[in-house]
């Protein structure tokens, strides 16, 4: 009794807790409540980040950054602007420093391309006879930087002048949210599912798949469009399992849906979920190249082998029915790489010793600048450099620029170009 008198309140709390446990906790009700709480907070977080415009707005770029995006040195750009006063001249910001909007950068580049003033590697648009590069970013393991890589690569390609479409295939919609869209706030938002879903004969007229043009959204970055995602994409998995594949094979759905807009773009990039779903297999069938993201850890390398074996087996089944469709290239991109961490360096070297030239020369560095920018759903392209230590930002920028440049070379090699030629 003395013990209960001394610790009565604690015992009462324990008894109440045990009583609640004995009654049980509603799984569906609790999880649904937690999901609502998180969704509401995400919406509020997004609203705070985007005030007062409520949409993402791309920052202007410095003179040095403008030269990088166009592919010229600073003296050459100064001469071009001085001798062509009708071109955008930039806006003076922070004293006497000229800054350029993305549309201005594209206008200057287009002028230089039109007059044959750029090298082969900087002519960032398809020529007659060159097919769009369709790339899938894949891995069966989560947390390897697929969405972050897709964000940075698609934005870098668009800023370099490529007409780019990025497609979010992940039901978690991480990439969609990185572009400032919160699916929970837009429940009626159309996704790729609306364009690849099956049409049942008993459905009313006009309720089948929609035109892919009604799904594509423009973004705050010129020349970059987005097909967003949400949980609805999972419906394609359920429908495919119960649908007659002899009449409408699932692996043709993405390719057929993209057909009306395929030639509108230079590059189409898929951000795939960490699973080998029907939607992912359909995207792989539509692609011309594969980009496999992997971190420099032995755990990821071991799971990579399993993933590749399973993917190869599933694709062989499709190829037996439809025929083999060779890729332009298959490359492995090391992400979250720390060059000062000896285990990471060793694993990267080990992976390169096995796969040799299939591993990209450059890596996406593990960077505090990229991580901090992600807290506001920004990439290193979008974030204001002045908010970071100069060396920290430059290290992240250089890493993204090197990987993006290597990807550009792969894209142009797929077009059959000799970027080092005259």
pLDDT digits (tens, 9 = 90+) for 376-401: 778 999 988 888 888 988 999 999 99
Tell me the pLDDT of the chain averaged across its residues. 85
Whether residue 243 contacts residue 250, with contact meaning beta carbons closer than 8 Å, is answered with yes
Grade residue 120 by pLDDT with cuts at 50, 70 and 90: confident
- In the predicted structure, residue 292 carries a pLDDT above the cut 80: yes
pLDDT value of residue 376: 73
What is the pairing mode between strands 289-295 and 133-138? parallel
Which of the two residues, 7 and 252, has the higher pLDDT score? 252
pLDDT value of residue 422: 37
Residue 313 CB contacts under 8 Å (≥ 6 apart), including other chains:
none
Q: What percent of the chain has pLDDT over 70?
A: 83
Which of the two residues, 422 and 74, has the higher pLDDT score? 74
pLDDT value of residue 3: 45
Which of the two residues, 53 and 165, has the higher pLDDT score? 165
293: enclosing H helix or E strand: strand 289-295
pLDDT value of residue 45: 59
Grade residue 213 by pLDDT with cuts at 50, 70 and 90: very high
- In the predicted structure, residue 105 carries a pLDDT above the cut 90: yes
The arithmetic mean of pLDDT across residues 201-224, rounded, is 86
- In the predicted structure, residue 22 carries a pLDDT above the cut 60: no
Which of the two residues, 412 and 367, has the higher pLDDT score? 412
Torsion over CA: 313, 315, 318, 324 (sign): negative
**Residue 271 neighbours by CB distance under 10 Å:** 28
For residue 256, what are the CA distances in angstroms to 214, 229, 250? 15, 18, 10
pLDDT tens track for 24-64: 666 656 666 766 666 666 566 556 655 545 678 899 999 99
pLDDT value of residue 63: 95
Q: What percent of the chain has pLDDT over 90?
A: 53
Q: Where are the alpha helices (DSSP H) in 207-247?
A: 235-241
How far does CA 247 lie from the centroid of its chain? 32
Q: Which domains does the chain have, with CATH numbers?
A: 61-118 (1.10.1660), 126-414 (3.40.50.300)
32: enclosing H helix or E strand: helix 27-50
Q: Output Rg (C-alpha) for the chain, integer angstroms.
A: 25
- When mean pLDDT is compared across 26-35, 98-107, 181-190, 347-356, the lowest value belongs to 26-35
pLDDT value of residue 315: 85
- In the predicted structure, residue 23 carries a pLDDT above the cut 60: no
Whether residue 144 contacts residue 300, with contact meaning beta carbons closer than 8 Å, is answered with yes
Peptide bond into 131 cis (omega under 30): no
- In the predicted structure, residue 344 carries a pLDDT above the cut 70: yes
Matching residue, tokens 């967003």: 228
- When mean pLDDT is compared across 1-15, 107-121, 168-182, 369-383, the lowest value belongs to 1-15
**Residue 73 neighbours by CB distance under 10 Å:** 10
- In the predicted structure, residue 286 carries a pLDDT above the cut 90: yes
- In the predicted structure, residue 21 carries a pLDDT above the cut 70: no
Torsion over CA: 268, 234, 336, 348 (sign): negative
The arithmetic mean of pLDDT across residues 239-258, rounded, is 86
pLDDT value of residue 49: 55
Residue 198 CB contacts under 8 Å (≥ 6 apart), including other chains:
208, 209, 239, 240, 243, 248
- In the predicted structure, residue 6 carries a pLDDT above the cut 70: no
The arithmetic mean of pLDDT across residues 363-379, rounded, is 79
Grade residue 202 by pLDDT with cuts at 50, 70 and 90: low
Grade residue 255 by pLDDT with cuts at 50, 70 and 90: very high
Predicted model pTM:
0.86
């Amino acid at each position: 009794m003395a013990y209960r008198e001394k610790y009565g309140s604690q015992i009462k709390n324990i008894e109440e807790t045990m009583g609640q446990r004995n009654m049980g906790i509603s799984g569906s009700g609790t999880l649904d409540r937690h999901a609502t709480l998180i969704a509401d907070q995400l919406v509020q977080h997004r609203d705070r980040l985007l005030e007062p415009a409520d949409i993402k707005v791309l920052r202007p770029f410095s003179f040095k950054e403008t030269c990088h995006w166009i592919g010229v040195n600073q003296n050459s750009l100064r001469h071009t602007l001085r001798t062509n006063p009708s071109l955008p001249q930039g806006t003076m910001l922070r004293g006497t420093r000229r800054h350029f909007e993305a549309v201005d950068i594209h206008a200057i580049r287009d002028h230089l391309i039109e007059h044959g003033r750029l090298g082969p590697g900087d002519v960032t648009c398809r020529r007659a006879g060159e097919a769009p590069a369709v790339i899938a970013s894949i891995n069966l393991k989560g947390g390897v930087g697929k969405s972050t890589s897709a964000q940075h690569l698609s934005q870098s390609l668009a800023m370099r002048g490529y007409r780019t479409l990025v497609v979010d295939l992940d039901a978690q919609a991480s990439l969609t949210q990185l572009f400032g869209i919160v699916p929970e706030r837009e429940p009626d938002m159309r996704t790729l599912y609306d364009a690849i879903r099956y049409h049942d004969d008993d459905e009313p007229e006009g309720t089948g798949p929609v035109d892919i043009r009604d799904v594509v959204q423009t973004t705050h970055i010129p020349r970059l469009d987005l097909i967003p995602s949400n949980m609805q994409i999972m419906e394609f998995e359920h429908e495919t399992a119960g649908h007659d594949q002899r009449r409408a094979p699932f692996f043709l759905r993405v390719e057929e849906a993209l057909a009306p807009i395929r030639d509108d773009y230079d590059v189409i990039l898929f951000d795939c979920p960490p699973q080998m779903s029907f939607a992912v297999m359909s995207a792989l069938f539509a692609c011309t190249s594969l980009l496999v993201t992997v971190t420099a850890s032995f755990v990821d390398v071991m799971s990579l082998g399993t993933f590749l074996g399973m993917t190869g087996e599933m694709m062989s089944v499709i190829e037996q029915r439809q025929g083999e469709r060779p890729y332009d290239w298959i490359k492995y991109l090391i992400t979250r790489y720390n060059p000062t961490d000896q285990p990471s360096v060793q694993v990267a070297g080990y992976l390169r010793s096995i796969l040799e030239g299939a591993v990209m020369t450059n890596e996406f560095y593990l960077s505090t600048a990229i991580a901090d920018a992600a807290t506001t759903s920004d990439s290193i392209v979008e974030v204001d450099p002045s908010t970071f230590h100069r060396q920290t930002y430059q290290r992240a920028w250089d890493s993204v620029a090197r990987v993006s440049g290597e990807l550009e070379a792969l894209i142009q090699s797929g077009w059959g170009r000799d970027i080092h030629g005259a």
